[in-house]
Amino acid sequence: MEKLIKKIKDFSELVVFQHSVFALPFIFIAMVVSSSQVNGSPWFGFKLLILGTLAAVTARNFAMGFNRFMDRDIDGLNPRTSNRPNVDGRISARDMFIFVLINAFGFIAVAYFVNDLALILAVPILIIIGSYSYFKRFSYLAHLILGISLALAPIAGVVAVSETIPFWVILLSIGVMFWVAGFDLLYSLQDIDVDKKLGLHSIPSIFGPEKTMLFSKIFHFLTVIFWLLFVIYSQSSYFAYLAVILSAIMLSYEHYLVNKDFRKIDRAFFTVNGYLGIVFFILIVLDNIFFV
């Protein structure tokens, strides 16, 4: 039993399971809004709650597992990542590959039980979220690819509820894309020297810290704009506008932390962005409870 618990902990560390907090709120935000518009109620049912959670978890496990599998050589040469389970021998390449396959088939199986459109989109989604591992080896656009990967979460949520892709969810997803790409730029500042040494393509290694932070600010400004457009086009109300305002404040605070001290990148990356998604979700739920 102890070995099993330890193995579970190792795999949880491999995929940084606690970072699921970034994607989960936005898949459920989309499901809440879609359910309100289609069913007249923000509650979409226990079946979709379970399937939506399983879809988000298996998709993220696939993406992170595949990334760790592909990056074994890179992570081993980076002092910041050299103690990860994919490098220090706690999880073998074979076990990682099996883990990736299990989650890929798990995601497709979940999509099958959701609806036909979800099943059609399942494999293309896996290809997109898995492509990040390749992009950073030849293109600094990898930050946006990571953003697109998480931006698929709201689209998946709407497809699960209504089997359609309305315009408002595209706006929400574009906002998520810029949000994720923006904080990934800040996070990547930690690896600027290693990226240069290993010849990896990242905006920090090519343009330097100052321009990277400027790009991040631009991305997060666009995040707020697209989330505002999402609120307008989804015909949401007061709590949704408050969600956008608080998001702008939290993103500004994130940049304040990083500008003040690069050593606070982890705090800015995880704490601020984690709370942002949760606060956004709570306010959207309240908006759809009181103003539907």
DSSP state of 269: I
Q: Which residue has the tokens 């592909």?
A: 70
Residue of 254, 249, 246 whose CA lies nearest to 278: 246
2 lies in a domain?
A: no
Q: What pLDDT does residue 83 have?
A: 80
1 lies in a domain?
A: no
Q: What pLDDT does residue 284 have?
A: 97
Q: What pLDDT does residue 12 have?
A: 72
Tell if the pTM clears 0.75, that is, is over it: yes
Q: Which long-range contacts (CB under 8 A, 24 or more apart) does 61-65 make?
A: 61/15, 61/99, 61/103, 62/100, 62/103, 62/104, 62/107, 62/126, 62/129, 62/130, 63/129, 63/130, 63/132, 63/149, 64/14, 64/15, 64/16, 65/14, 65/15, 65/96, 65/99, 65/100, 65/103
190 lies in a domain?
A: yes
Q: What pLDDT does residue 139 have?
A: 79
What six digits make up the tokens of 40? 């007249």
Q: What stretches in the chain show pLDDT beneath 50? A: none
Q: What pLDDT does residue 100 have?
A: 93
What CA–CA distance (Å, rounded) separates 28 from 42?
10
Q: What pLDDT does residue 10 have?
A: 67
CATH number at residue 202: 1.10.357.140
283 lies in a domain?
A: yes
Q: What pLDDT does residue 196 have?
A: 79
262 lies in a domain?
A: yes
The number of distinct structural domains making up the chain is: 1
Q: What pLDDT does residue 19 have?
A: 61
Q: What pLDDT does residue 178 have?
A: 97
Per the structure, the complete domain to which residue 109 belongs is given by: 10-290
Q: What pLDDT does residue 189 have?
A: 84
4 lies in a domain?
A: no
